Structure 1
């Protein structure tokens, strides 16, 4: 970019190469996904993930994070501070373990405590100023709040990354705590949450003292309860048009009571719910000549993937494990880069906000005298 003022020419170069740490904690509570990644811009964005790791939550933190929606705002603020300190410690260990020397900034999603955009409310813990202070690094975070203030859903935020990094696929589907999807429609990026996935499946296998249904083996041994599947498919959310998003509060209110009323075995619950998920996803991925890039922990549920492939007409594509596991952290890193460059990282066509905007806040470490 070139400016000319009174015969003096100034050239302003927007930074186009970044080395950053990016981290993400999802509703399925698998742990903290953290990566060290390079981004470069030369007509289009490219990336290289140098190091990646998932830090499993302790039983104590998992218990705390599972019950955030039942906490008072005073309790949440205390947890927010403690969680930010925990993130700082986790990041410091990652940097030491991988001998990382060069960091432009840290991009952090934090962890969603409350998400009720219809009430103008979203709250991610782990975005406290102390995070930047303890790490002595610039932190770009809290990507949802501004969008909700602009009348948007504050979610999903990944689609801008789908568009810029994975635009060669017709659909980008993520199977995490919730299934969300993004794609181009009428020259705009459209995205929304499809249905809950691991947040429900893991809830029921936890009753067997398991963290997850390994490869979907338990579900594959169950029997479909057609009445339950029909009632799940009839929930009003599935008739709503985008933009729309889901949170744990909605699951607690609509999914768990409905399933529990049937008093089924865990295997039958899992089998029926997998069928429900596959049906809902297939309603979107229904074009025979289209490709679907699938990522997220749900990819490792072989039975779920077989049922999705059975119902869907589109070609299912599973990338390498690093993209499967860390795509969301990667894209929140890109959101941080776009915020740094003051470029759009949140699309109104996706969230329903009043306008496209550059979302997130920048925390600069305080300098102590």
Structure 2
């Protein structure tokens, strides 16, 4: 039996805040057992929100400076988290915050220097999980599926509704996973136009009306019919889905309503196109799982043969942080933590840089 106590750190594309999850992983009888012990989400200050949002437009020097400063910031959050809860931590596993993701150009970059994080937190740190897979010809994403396979095998599908919706499932011979569509990257900016950080329970979306023309335009990009492996970055969202919403003349409520239909429709299309499983069980996590109107659309487009399970709020909120902690454990053990069947890399690989203290 082997046991690890790890803090997983995640910051998603929707900039909801920094998620920290202190987790215990035990390997016994060839199975992994996990438990989430402590969690916290730290909202971004306006300064950090603006700095991260504007990084695609600044100089290389400013990007490097922010990488270091943000790593130090994450390290301070981690040290404070450890001290307040008096935690015994073997190491930290941090995803960082994605600024660029263009795998076709061999580019993926997450700010949040692991070296500066380790120095500020005083704890060994695993970071930079995506670069090796990109170097091996893969997409560098998604990374969560190996955690889905080893920690959530009771579900046929694992669906995450973050800034981007992505799905993970067992194929005929191996695990497959890919990004489906933009999700909160569409919904949150629309909610902000109504003076809200997000559309609580999907109430504004529910009050809107369905617009067939907008629905058709949102579904038009060729990405949706492209084969996997495939992944979406902010650059794609800006060029397609967000531009469509900005250019379209409709009320914000109608845009929210129709966007939820678009997201639900694309999820159902992906499930049916890439799986022979009928009557499947689908685990739903990520911030979008709290949007009851969006969840209704997912259930509507999937139909009654699929069971959509929304688990307890802690797992909804912290599943990605949990799994990045687990990816750190696999890296620590020098075992594969990234699947070629998911990313298209030359082979399964063990990504992540370790900074020892």
Q: TM-score range by the shorter chain?
A: over 0.9
1:353-364 alignment to 2 at 5 Å?
Answer: 353-364=345-356
Deviation at 1:288, TM superposition (A): 4.1
Is 1:323 matched up with 2:315?
yes
Q: Residue 278 of structure 1 aligns to a residue in which SS?
A: helix
Q: 1: distance between equivalents of 2:189 and 2:135?
A: 32
- Whether contact under 8 Å (1:216, 1:301) holds in the other structure is yes
Q: 2: distance between equivalents of 1:96 and 1:136?
A: 11
1:306 to 296, 302, 319: 296
Partner of 2:92: 106
1:171-186 alignment to 2 at 5 Å?
Answer: 171-186=157-172
Q: 1: distance between equivalents of 2:282 and 2:60?
A: 40
1:207-218 alignment to 2 at 5 Å?
Answer: 207-218=193-204
- Whether contact under 8 Å (1:28, 1:177) holds in the other structure is yes
Partner of 1:129: 115
Return 5+ residue gaps in structure 2 as ranges.
Answer: none
1:123-202 alignment to 2 at 5 Å?
Answer: 123-202=109-188
1:69 to 46, 56, 63: 56
- Whether contact under 8 Å (2:94, 2:114) holds in the other structure is no
Q: 2: distance between equivalents of 1:150 and 1:194?
A: 23
- Per the normalisation by structure 1, the TM-score is 0.93
1:258-337 alignment to 2 at 5 Å?
Answer: 258-286=244-272, 287-313=277-303, 314-337=306-329
Q: 1: distance between equivalents of 2:59 and 2:181?
A: 27
- Whether contact under 8 Å (1:24, 1:328) holds in the other structure is yes
- Whether contact under 8 Å (1:80, 1:128) holds in the other structure is no
Deviation at 1:222, TM superposition (A): 0.8
Partner of 1:116: 102
Partner of 1:80: 67
List, as ranges, runs of 4+ consecutive aligned residues in structure 1 with deviation greater than 6 Å.
none
1:28 to 5, 10, 14: 14
Cα deviations by residue, 1:274-318 (Å, 9 ceiling, x for unpaired): 110010011133454100000000010000001111111311011
Q: 2: distance between equivalents of 1:246 and 1:69?
A: 16
Q: 2: distance between equivalents of 1:72 and 1:239?
A: 36
1:350 to 325, 342, 347: 342
RMSD: 1.1
Q: 2: distance between equivalents of 1:288 and 1:191?
A: 18
How many residue pairs end up in the alignment? 350
- Whether contact under 8 Å (2:18, 2:43) holds in the other structure is yes
Partner of 1:239: 225
Q: Residue 292 of structure 1 aligns to a residue in which SS?
A: strand
Q: 1: distance between equivalents of 2:270 and 2:23?
A: 32
Which range is displaced more, 257-266 or 356-365?
257-266
Is 1:250 matched up with 2:253?
no
Q: 2: distance between equivalents of 1:16 and 1:246?
A: 36
Q: 2: distance between equivalents of 1:265 and 1:259?
A: 10
- Whether contact under 8 Å (1:201, 1:270) holds in the other structure is yes
Q: 2: distance between equivalents of 1:335 and 1:308?
A: 29
Q: Residue 284 of structure 1 aligns to a residue in which SS?
A: helix
Which range is displaced more, 187-196 or 307-316?
307-316
